[in-house]
Amino acid sequence: MLREEPKKQPIPAKTLLFAAGSFFLIALLFLVFRSKGGFSLDQKFSQSKRLPVLFSVLGDKDEYLFSLYAEFYPNEKKAALFFVNPKTSFDDGEKSLKEKGSSAPSYVESVLEDTLDSNIPFKIVWTKEQFQNWINLLGGLNLFFEPKSLHITKNYARNKQTYVLDGEDTFDWMSSLADESMISYIRRLEIQETVFLTVLEAIHEKKDLLGKQRVAYLHSQMSTNLSLKEWETLIEFLKKEKIHFGVSEVPGEPMGRPKYKDEVLKANEETVKVAFHKFASELRSLAFSEGERARIEVLNGTPKNGLARYGKVLLNDKGLKVLSVDNAWDSSFKSSIILNRSGNTQYTDLISDTFQGRRVYFALRKDLGLDATVILGEDFQNSKD
């Protein structure tokens, strides 16, 4: 005789609901931990959101040199760079960031998060040795020194005009002070801005040299909460895209400290908040790249008369405003160069295109009130190159 198999009991609905709910919870937890484990940066880029990163540099004996709060806007291919002077004081005790030493980067992070009402998910801190290793791996930095550049320090007498700085040379230049005056700290911050922009440009220009092994080495030469995968994603973005940068600084009012016989830059949190959001909003607006807002000077670096005026005509035809034309300090330039004075790279990229791709050097000088200095070293009226 054939025995009847017992009928299968139906699974209760509550059990099915519980199982489905458990599966959903596990999937949700997986996604959360996945994002925390190295995928959050990929998601931010794919979703074209802003990406905040706080960079800081320490010098000899953990001296705090500066910080940079950067917001990258991947979809717009733009980045707002907000630099912090070590003489800035955020607290009521009038203590400057420099006096906080190696604890300054985490303090700046906390203050900026509160001030800007924004989480800063990614942090990078370099020591002197690490930053020097970075520069050396990039093959040094190409810079241009003019007569009024602060290019001579106690350890180096650098050549005028084009000059390649290795890691030690770069760090010496960006950490040296003429004296302890506030103006020296402000001028040094411009040098630090120049160096950092040149580093970002070098990553893009030398992208073919930055393979996976070198990118991993760069990741090892800094203290960061970025995973290696996240770091690779960020570097890939910097390599691939031609990003337009804007540069500003945390505002502060000079305030004397009789006890120390010096000054600090007293920062008001509300003023800082308004200043950054205004800066970032302008950077992301269409007006930021309008040629009529540009401030450009054109200098003739040759014996040929009228060349600067012709350069002005070429720039005007591109919609770029030229404030002045003059002769350069030297009439023996062999090629033309463009000096970026403000950190706004949209103008200097357009100027470079106008003059057949001539090289742009960062040489920030906010006191000049300019976006760019163009030095013509060849006759573009007759050039066919």
1-10, 150-159, 178-187, 277-286: range with lowest mean pLDDT: 1-10
Is the per-residue pLDDT at 43 higher than 80? no
Give start-end residues of each CATH 3.40.630.190 domain in the chain.
Answer: 51-284
Confidence band for 159, pLDDT divided at 50, 70 and 90? confident
pLDDT at residue 33 tops 60:
no
155 contacts: CB under 8 Å, gap ≥ 6: 172, 176
Question: Is the confidence at residue 65, as pLDDT, over 60?
Answer: yes
What's the pLDDT at 355?
Answer: 95
E strand map for the chain: 51-58, 64-73, 78-84, 88-89, 122-126, 141-145, 161-165, 223-224, 244-249, 253-257, 262-266, 296-300, 322-327, 337-340, 360-362, 372-376
* Predicted pLDDT of residue 9: 52
The tens digit of pLDDT for each residue in 201-255 reads 999 999 999 999 999 999 999 999 999 999 999 999 999 999 999 999 999 999 9
Rounded percentage of the chain residues whose pLDDT exceeds 70? 86
Q: Is the pLDDT of residue 40 over 80?
A: no
| Segment 329-342, tens digit of pLDDT | 999 999 999 999 99
Of 136-140, 154-158, 162-166, the one with minimum mean pLDDT is 154-158
So what's the pLDDT on residue 5? 47
Find the farthest-apart pair of alpha carbons in the chain and give their distance in angstroms, rounded: 117
Query: In the Cβ-directed half-sphere of 369, how many Cα atoms lie within 13 Å?
Result: 3
Q: Do residues 342 and 289 lie in contact, with contact meaning Cβ atoms separated by under 8 Å? A: no
Buried b (16+ CB within 10 A) or exposed e, 365-374: bbebebbbbb
Query: How many residues are present in the chain?
Result: 385
Stretch among 60-64, 154-158, 226-230, 344-348 having the lowest mean pLDDT: 154-158
pLDDT (mean) for 278-298: 91
SS3 of residue 192 by DSSP:
helix
DSSP bridge pairs for 322: 296
Q: Is 127 helix (H, G, I), strand (E, B) or coil?
A: coil
Beta bridge partners of 141: 165
Average pLDDT estimate for 324-351: 96
- Ranked by mean pLDDT, the top range of 9-13, 66-70, 281-285 is 66-70
* Confidence band for 378, pLDDT divided at 50, 70 and 90: very high
Three-state SS at 263: strand
**Distance (Å, rounded) from C-alpha 301 to C-alpha 312?**
14
143-153: average pLDDT? 86
Listed range (38-52, 243-257, 291-305, 365-379) with the worst mean pLDDT: 38-52
Query: What is the pLDDT, as a whole number, of residue 141?
Result: 97
pLDDT at 152: 81
- The packing angle between helices 167-175 and 128-137, to 10°, is 130
The answer to whether the CB of 371 falls within 8 A of the CB of 297 is no
Q: What percent of the chain is modeled with pLDDT above 90?
A: 75
Check: CB of residue 105 under 8 Å from CB of residue 123.
yes
Handedness of CA 136, 143, 279, 315 (dihedral sign): negative
Q: For residues 139-167, b (16+ Cβ closer than 10 Å) or e, as one string?
A: ebbbbbbbeebbbeeeeeebeeeebebeb
Report DSSP letters for 63-86, one per residue: -EEEEEEEEEETTTTEEEEEEE-T
What pLDDT score does 290 carry? Answer: 83
Which is more confidently placed, 301 or 10? 301
Residues 6 or more apart in contact with residue 384 via CB below 8 angstroms:
none
Any residues with CB less than 8 A from the CB of 3 and at least 6 apart, and which? none
Question: Contact 173/195 with Cβ under 8 angstroms?
Answer: yes
Cite the residue boundaries of each domain of the chain with CATH code 3.30.70.2390.
Answer: 289-376
Indicate if the pLDDT at residue 59 is higher than 50.
yes
Residue carrying structure tokens 């305030």: 255
Q: Among 3.50.50.60, 3.30.70.2390, 3.30.365.10, 3.40.630.10, what is the CATH number of 289-376?
A: 3.30.70.2390
Per-residue confidence at 261, pLDDT binned at 50, 70, 90?
confident
Q: Is the pLDDT of residue 39 over 60?
A: no
Question: Is the confidence at residue 47, as pLDDT, over 80?
Answer: no
β-strand pairing of 64-73 with 78-84: antiparallel
Does the domain made of 51-284 have the CATH classification 3.40.630.190?
yes
Residue range 377-385: mean pLDDT, rounded: 70
Q: Give the pLDDT of residue 97.
A: 96
pLDDT band per the 50, 70, 90 thresholds, residue 288: confident
- Across the chain, mean pLDDT equals 88
pLDDT of residue 149: 81
Tokens for 325, please give them: 């034309």
